[in-house]
Amino acid sequence: MSFIEERNQKAQETLRKAFQKRNMEMHYCSTAAQAKETILSLIPEGSSVTWGGTESMKEAGVLDALYQKNYTIINRADAKTPEESRALYGKMVCCDYFLTSTNAFTVNGELVNVDGASNRVACIAHGPQHVIVLASMDKLCASVPDAYDRIRALASPPNALRVGANTPCAKTGVCGDCLSPDCICCQILVTRYSRVPGRIQIVLCGEKLGF
Ligand code: SF4
């Protein structure tokens, strides 16, 4: 076992208690394959399922695996017109399970996310009945300010490249604190408590995923 994995194993109980006191449940998986199986086991057959932009879920193979199961899939990429897109967004808000990653999380059990279009942070905050968050342990930060620094330095620039945004970070690789039309840092969400116990389930993964 590597020292990093040993640290992850030892940090589990501290993190689980930190999330529990905020009404969120946590699971720990050493590998992405285990994380995928854990996530699928949390979603009952027949559920409606959708997701926000999430490289972590994609890299772990969760999104592909959803199509092999008996779920009603709501995929906003299926929209062919602005009207269809708007209708799909409406369905996403009312779905049973919303899958996402988190840009960062803290040792105190807070989730920190920034978003551009902001459907992802909206659905984390309210709407879907259940939210499943997949995050690799490299997203662990000491505090909310540290999490925000991590996002600006490590998460948003590659995300801007992923979505083809015309932003300073996409050009230079570092945050320019922009107010540009393509900005992907329009909203900042700190999830510090869930009023609905267990609505948010967090699957932490020892293997690196996403940004
Ligand atoms: S340059 Fe703009 S889009 Fe890029 S990380 Fe900074 S605020 Fe976000």
Domain containing residue 128: CATH number: 3.40.50.10420
CA of 15 to the centre of ligand 1 (A): 29
Cα 79 to ligand 1 centroid, rounded to whole Å: 27
Query: Mean pLDDT, the chain, as a whole number?
Result: 97
pLDDT at 64: 97
Residue 84, pLDDT score: 94
> If you average pLDDT over residues 110-129, what whole number do you get?
97
pLDDT category at 178 given cuts 50, 70, 90 is very high
- Residue 29 within any structural domain of the chain: yes
What is the tally of structural domains in the chain? 1
Give me the residues paired with residue 141 across strands: 106
Q: Go through 90-106 and write b for each residue having 16 or more CB atoms within 10 A of its CB, e for each that does not.
A: eebbebbbbbbbbbbbb
Atom of ligand 1 nearest to the CA of 178: 2
pLDDT greater than 90 at residue 202: yes
pLDDT at residue 116, rounded to an integer: 96
Q: What is the mean pLDDT of residues 112-130?
A: 97
Backbone φ and ψ of 170, nearest 5°: -70, -25
d(CA 203, CA 42): 10
β-strands 130-136, 104-106 pairing: unpaired
Within a domain: residue 210? no
Give residue 162's domain range.
Answer: 3-205
- pLDDT reported for residue 175: 97
User: How many angstroms separate the CA atoms of 48 and 132, rounded?
Assistant: 13
pLDDT-above-70 percentage for the chain:
100
179 lines ligand 1 (CB under 6 A): no
Whether 156 has a pLDDT exceeding 90, the answer reads yes
- The answer to the question of residue 211 being in a domain is no
Q: Which of 148, 152, 161, 211 for a ligand 1 pocket mutation test, highest count of atoms within 8 Å of Cβ?
A: 152
Residue 13 lies in a domain: yes
How far, in Å, is the centroid of ligand 1 from the Cα of 104?
Answer: 16
Asked if the model's pLDDT at residue 1 lies above 90, the reply is no
- Domain-embedded: residue 64: yes
- What pLDDT is recorded for position 165? 97
Is the pLDDT at 41 greater than 90, yes or no?
yes
Q: Is 165 inside any structural domain?
A: yes
Query: Distance from the CA of 184 to the center of ligand 1, in angstroms?
Result: 6
Q: Model pTM?
A: 0.96
Measure Cα distances from 54 to 5, 8, 22, 38, 115 in Å. Answer: 23, 22, 23, 17, 12
Cα separations in angstroms, 160 against 52, 70, 90: 15, 33, 25
**Distance of CA 131 from the midpoint of ligand 1 (Å):** 26
By alpha-carbon position, which residue is closest to atom 7 of ligand 1?
177
Confirm or reject: Cβ of 60 under 6 Å from ligand 1.
no
**Does the C-beta of 160 come closer than 6 Å to ligand 1?**
yes
Query: What residue has token string 């690799």?
Result: 136
